[in-house]
A = this chain, B = another copy of it.
């Protein structure tokens, strides 16, 4: 469930479910979820936040898989291509998709304090963006929508420190 990334949940279950979904997807499309690709997805699912490509690379390298940049970028290209990983442009980082439905184009909420990343359900504001583009004669192929701010926990912690902030 995309909007629950900020809330507690059964983590090992959400990893297993998504890996299973990726297996199914690859089988159905004659694609190969190779060891490197699978492990990268597992690592991102386990982290449950955005990770830099080189952070992931260091981890798979320490496990005996490839340790050179092209290895991780190829795996990330594959996983983003099938929609199980998203790139966060604002962070030059990557995050596992929490709701891998075909063709969805979510918006992201990025906590600047704890680096948690949550997807919004649906594609909020996409209608208004499409309308603005149509007005300009622009044909949208992809949209990047990333909100940076404070997640519920970090927002509460900030307020506890400085209780006179605006709402």
* A interface residues, Cβ below 8 angstroms from B: 3, 6, 89-90, 107, 109, 111-112, 118, 120-122, 124-129, 131-133, 135-152, 155
Q: When the two chains form the complex, which single residue of B129, B142, B152 contacts A124, counting CB atoms closer than 8 Å?
A: B129
Flag if B136 contacts A152 (CB, 8 Å).
yes
Q: When the two chains form the complex, which single residue of B121, B128, B144, B155 contacts A125, counting CB atoms closer than 8 Å?
A: B128
Known: A89-B146, A142-B147, A144-B147. 16 other contacts (CB 8 A): A3-B132, A3-B136, A6-B137, A6-B138, A109-B140, A124-B129, A124-B132, A125-B127, A127-B128, A138-B149, A138-B150, A139-B155, A140-B148, A141-B148, A141-B149, A144-B145
Flag if B143 contacts A147 (CB, 8 Å).
yes
Flag if B148 contacts A144 (CB, 8 Å).
yes
Flag if B147 contacts A146 (CB, 8 Å).
no
Q: When the two chains form the complex, which single residue of B118, B129, B136 contacts A145, counting CB atoms closer than 8 Å?
A: B129
Residues of B within 8 A of A125 (CB): 124-129, 145
Query: Can you report 8 residue pairs joining A to B where beta carbons are below 8 Å apart?
Result: A109-B138, A120-B132, A125-B127, A138-B147, A138-B151, A138-B152, A143-B147, A144-B148
Q: Tell me, rounded to whole Å, the shortest Cβ–Cβ distance linking A61 to chain B.
A: 25
Q: Tell me, rounded to whole Å, the shortest Cβ–Cβ distance linking A48 to chain B.
A: 15
Residue among A89, A90, A109, A147 with max Cβ neighbours from chain B (10 Å): A147
Q: What is the bound-complex CA distance between A122 and B133, given in angstroms?
A: 12
Q: Tell me, rounded to whole Å, the shortest Cβ–Cβ distance linking A29 to chain B.
A: 22
